[in-house]
Structure 1
């Protein structure tokens, strides 16, 4: 990787020398040290060999704390030793002519290749070995912090793990399944035998991006030293910084590993980094040339020019017109929000939920846009209850936000602070009923989870307890939800949710109450009932005989097998928690719970329970019934 910005120091040195010569043409040395004409040179005493100056850290590389760039080597003065002839030979070109320092005009016209040929500047990685991070356990969560054991996948089939990660499109039907999979991907894990740590990291980062976990993906990527990056890591690195709208975050990578990729978007990002380093005029000119060549769509290069102008010191008016743009890409959206632009609503509507996830996490986007996006991000599991409440708190305290979102923020405050329980419930219901669809309604229940947990169990509110219990369980307040067990009607939806959510239960449920639940179920194809039976069976809260009976009566086919059920059941029998989580995530793919089958839910809940993840199994089962 070449670093022409290092020559800035050389240019400044020449400029300073030229300025001194103009301002003070007379020599500043005492007369005794000035050269005087002499017909015979005076022999001089041997001089010590000058030492090479220490390398200085590159500004862009130092931000990663892992790289530095060496200065141009200072040539030693020949001292008449045996190496003098060799040293002198290094000062000559191929034609025998002595090299000379170029003029300022020549420096200004030089290309990066010319600089390297002249000065030999080349990026080197000089982090001491003891400061390097081990690639063996890349990740953020140690086992003591809730992560999986480091060696969980070390002995597993590399091809199976590759398939479970690369074959997962990232959209999961379950919020709790999403949270569990994210925790597994962020754990400090060794790569499976036969898979390189870089490829394993790239697979995990790529899946986190597809899940909409942009901040988590960037944190995981940055847990590996840039010196260890490979093209596979480079492929996901650009996607990470696109989706976080942080193209200058790529600059340390460009400075040290700029040859990881060779494509137009990578080169354009590299040019943005040139502007960020201070060479914005040349960077904008380079983007102008790429525009005329048509290497990228015009909108991509115009957005890059606008971002480069913002990152550098050279300002240029760049007009962005979306009329002829028919789709969004991560590149376009990341650059747009990075410079404060909002793409047209028609593009956002057609773009899908991934862009809502980016918006919900983007600090540079307005609060109202983030709140609208939070209805998707909260339901998916990207935003927690605390994160959503914090967002609405910012809206409440911002006097510039008016209208619907300010009203919602005030209603949320009422749900938490009013003294009358009926009034608090009414405030929560107002938020739930104001959602645009079922997914957004569930996100609003995540938003009110802590407020629902503060409600005292009351027989007067027993008929309204279903949504309250759903709200509590969406954020894991199972102990608070269980306080309602004595007041909810037997066989009701509330009863079904608590039968699944109860921690530590070992006795089978009352099948009479279960039959009442099934009879009263008005969901399409009785999906709530099938999921309730599947969850109870997976948690072993039905006897084997009852499991077989309900499976046959409702055509649930719990005993059927597929390659996926065989794989996840085998992993559970081995006690392989990590493989179970990855395969469970693979089996929960889909845009909503209508894509889940009772048989798959049964295997997911059962295997999670077998490997010690019963809490997650209970929450996934309860979520299935609540959202069916």
Structure 2
């Protein structure tokens, strides 16, 4: 049996070998195997046969012409025909640098932006015929962030919209002004998008300054590396020299990096924490410099310190954030190397300012919940938010929302919690059982622009007390009338407000601006209740004029200029009336309604 099996296997192997022997020649029967070596490699040199005596040796490289082929002209022939050979530098076309872009691929600095009407932006003619010098000066003078989350959301979309630069300003400078305003609003990533839209060789000195600030705000020193060879002489050379050192280290040139840092220290051009942070980045790049960062004696936080510290994951003392505006808190929220738990406090600022959306805020709270200690997880906002979304009993969901709303101590944190709970609030079915919570539920929905969901509370809100914010919020925020709106009801609301509160004035101002009460009714209410709605000055005339000229972008800018404060308590009611009216006239009624609802919520 074994022999039979062996013979069978042997027979099979022999058959396979025979088939292979037949098949292999067939594959290459009519073609030589392809050589992997260059032509002539390894060939035996052929010794040319000497010509017979009396015959000249053939010229090297000369080949006989094929029958009927046109012979090339010799030098004598060219001279005889009067044709002269042109110099090589005149006949050869210069090769383009591999880094040069064809003109068609270059980007126009006068048309920079990432939003269009198809993806959330506005029309390309949003600036109308505004003078670019006026608009850029207005941008530069705005003390951002501003009071209104919704005004900031509107302005961000305006600044990111792809639209031609207005007349009277250089295109790159126009981008720089927009990016600089976005940075001051806390919008580091949108600012970076604009900066990236301009080719480096078209940068202006202002553009270089803003590009450096943007790289620091996003904690990305490497973003400055492509700029170092083009920095103008007017720029701060000390900071750019240290940038060159960091970029050299990041590219592996540790010798150059160390030499630049040592020279800066020797000349005294940089010292203290600023130099040490640059050295820390150089060390991370591979220069083997062990740097210990101590914040003792540092009494303020700069963009340089913020950006480099976050780039190398050096914790910044909380007290230093008190020396800067809240826009830096928004930068900190998106810093690349901090934990989800470390993002929670800056996220509250980012949400209240308009930098952070409801969806992004919920995602962050969810990540912090997943990372929380199991022993204390029930005390976290993530645990309560989870119940607000998914508890089986509706009473448990509303109780979780109440806890989330009642925990914060500051006005900023309270409003941030309304942003956080917007979509959880949308899961609560309107009903009289939750009439006492209608105010917070409606306000929360409006923070995320969920005006249709908020409108479903109209029947409940219409039965609330005269001074309840739930009715007032729907009176100004709903896309159509879902509650009774009259001068009498508005007057009753004003009468119920505490002394010194601006809610009543904001309500009348918003209703007048939206056209939901007549000018005569607004005037009567203002007179009867001593509401300051008649203020007229250069700002009110400017925003009214921009609306009349149909300049929505200018209206958005002026709206922000009218709210240059972090507190709604400092916003003038007459300004709100002009802002709401102007936005409605230029086609931004939804944003006007959300700003009006926010005013009542936060006043």
TM-score tier, shorter chain, comes to 0.7 to 0.9
Correspondences of 1:393-408 after superposition (within 5 Å):
393-398=366-371, 403=376, 407-408=380-381
Correspondences of 1:240-255 after superposition (within 5 Å):
240-255=214-229
Correspondences of 1:152-171 after superposition (within 5 Å):
152-153=126-127, 155-171=129-145
Say which of 507, 517, 531 aligns to 1:556: 531
How has the CA–CA distance of structure 1 residues 230 and 193 changed in structure 2, closer, same or farther, with 3 Å as cutoff? Answer: same
Question: CA separation in 2, counterparts of 1:351 and 1:400?
Answer: 32
Query: Under a length normalisation based on structure 2, what TM-score does the superposition of the two structures give?
Result: 0.81
Question: CA separation in 2, counterparts of 1:373 and 1:473?
Answer: 22
Question: CA separation in 2, counterparts of 1:273 and 1:362?
Answer: 20
Correspondences of 1:530-569 after superposition (within 5 Å):
530-569=505-544
Shift of residue 235, structure 1, vs aligned partner: 0.9
Question: CA separation in 1, counterparts of 2:232 and 2:61?
Answer: 45
State the number of aligned residues.
523
How has the CA–CA distance of structure 1 residues 564 and 123 changed in structure 2, closer, same or farther, with 3 Å as cutoff? Answer: farther
Correspondences of 1:171-190 after superposition (within 5 Å):
171-190=145-164
**Which string of whole-angstrom CA distances, capped at 9 and with x for unpartnered residues, describes residues 535-588 of structure 1?**
111011112221111122333343431111111101111222121111111112
Shift of residue 375, structure 1, vs aligned partner: 1.0
Say which of 420, 442, 445 aligns to 1:469: 442
- Residue in structure 1 matched with residue 13 of structure 2 by the alignment: none
Correspondences of 1:441-590 after superposition (within 5 Å):
441-488=414-461, 489-491=464-466, 492-505=468-481, 509-522=485-498, 524-590=499-565
Correspondences of 1:208-223 after superposition (within 5 Å):
208-223=182-197
Partner of 1:486, secondary structure, is: helix
How has the CA–CA distance of structure 1 residues 506 and 189 changed in structure 2, closer, same or farther, with 3 Å as cutoff? Answer: farther
- In structure 2, runs of 5+ residues without a counterpart are 1-40, 47-56, 63-84, 89-95
Question: CA separation in 1, counterparts of 2:153 and 2:375?
Answer: 33
Does the aligned pair in 1 maintain the 2:526–2:533 contact within 8 Å?
A: yes
- Residue in structure 2 matched with residue 609 of structure 1 by the alignment: 584
Question: CA separation in 1, counterparts of 2:282 and 2:431?
Answer: 60
How has the CA–CA distance of structure 1 residues 154 and 539 changed in structure 2, closer, same or farther, with 3 Å as cutoff? Answer: closer
Deviates more, 1:376-385 or 1:290-299: 290-299
How has the CA–CA distance of structure 1 residues 507 and 322 changed in structure 2, closer, same or farther, with 3 Å as cutoff? Answer: closer
Shift of residue 457, structure 1, vs aligned partner: 0.6
- In structure 1, runs of 5+ residues without a counterpart are 1-27, 34-41, 48-80, 85-121
Say which of 586, 593, 596 aligns to 2:571: 596
Question: CA separation in 1, counterparts of 2:374 and 2:296?
Answer: 29
How has the CA–CA distance of structure 1 residues 30 and 280 changed in structure 2, closer, same or farther, with 3 Å as cutoff? Answer: farther
Does the aligned pair in 1 maintain the 2:145–2:327 contact within 8 Å?
A: no
Shift of residue 405, structure 1, vs aligned partner: 9.4
1:368 aligns with 2:368: no
Does the aligned pair in 1 maintain the 2:128–2:551 contact within 8 Å?
A: no
**Which string of whole-angstrom CA distances, capped at 9 and with x for unpartnered residues, describes residues 493-513 of structure 1?**
100001011213499822332
How has the CA–CA distance of structure 1 residues 401 and 606 changed in structure 2, closer, same or farther, with 3 Å as cutoff? Answer: farther
1:201 aligns with 2:151: no
- Residue in structure 2 matched with residue 8 of structure 1 by the alignment: none
- Residue in structure 2 matched with residue 279 of structure 1 by the alignment: 253
Does the aligned pair in 1 maintain the 2:121–2:158 contact within 8 Å?
A: yes
Shift of residue 193, structure 1, vs aligned partner: 0.8
**Which string of whole-angstrom CA distances, capped at 9 and with x for unpartnered residues, describes residues 192-227 of structure 1?**
111111111010000000000001100111112222
1:336 aligns with 2:312: no
Question: CA separation in 1, counterparts of 2:521 and 2:483?
Answer: 13
Does the aligned pair in 1 maintain the 2:576–2:596 contact within 8 Å?
A: yes
Shift of residue 277, structure 1, vs aligned partner: 1.6
Shift of residue 173, structure 1, vs aligned partner: 0.4
**Which string of whole-angstrom CA distances, capped at 9 and with x for unpartnered residues, describes residues 163-216 of structure 1?**
221111211100000100000000012111111111110100000000000011
Shift of residue 407, structure 1, vs aligned partner: 1.5
How has the CA–CA distance of structure 1 residues 352 and 585 changed in structure 2, closer, same or farther, with 3 Å as cutoff? Answer: closer
1:411 aligns with 2:387: no
How has the CA–CA distance of structure 1 residues 514 and 186 changed in structure 2, closer, same or farther, with 3 Å as cutoff? Answer: same
Question: CA separation in 2, counterparts of 1:286 and 1:146?
Answer: 45
Question: CA separation in 2, counterparts of 1:30 and 1:341?
Answer: 65
Shift of residue 145, structure 1, vs aligned partner: 2.4
Does the aligned pair in 1 maintain the 2:506–2:599 contact within 8 Å?
A: yes
How has the CA–CA distance of structure 1 residues 404 and 225 changed in structure 2, closer, same or farther, with 3 Å as cutoff? Answer: farther
Question: CA separation in 2, counterparts of 1:410 and 1:445?
Answer: 16
Question: CA separation in 2, counterparts of 1:315 and 1:416?
Answer: 50
Deviates more, 1:141-150 or 1:440-449: 141-150
Question: CA separation in 2, counterparts of 1:413 and 1:433?
Answer: 17
- Residue in structure 1 matched with residue 20 of structure 2 by the alignment: none
Query: Under a length normalisation based on structure 1, what TM-score does the superposition of the two structures give?
Result: 0.78
Say which of 573, 576, 595 aligns to 1:620: 595
Does the aligned pair in 2 maintain the 1:395–1:405 contact within 8 Å?
A: no
- Residue in structure 2 matched with residue 61 of structure 1 by the alignment: none
**Greater CA radius of gyration, 1 or 2?**
2
How has the CA–CA distance of structure 1 residues 507 and 562 changed in structure 2, closer, same or farther, with 3 Å as cutoff? Answer: farther
Shift of residue 137, structure 1, vs aligned partner: 1.5
How has the CA–CA distance of structure 1 residues 181 and 445 changed in structure 2, closer, same or farther, with 3 Å as cutoff? Answer: same
**Which string of whole-angstrom CA distances, capped at 9 and with x for unpartnered residues, describes residues 343-399 of structure 1?**
222223333423211111123111111011111110110100001001011112225
Deviates more, 1:482-491 or 1:208-217: 482-491
- Residue in structure 2 matched with residue 140 of structure 1 by the alignment: 114
Correspondences of 1:426-441 after superposition (within 5 Å):
426-441=399-414
Shift of residue 314, structure 1, vs aligned partner: 2.5
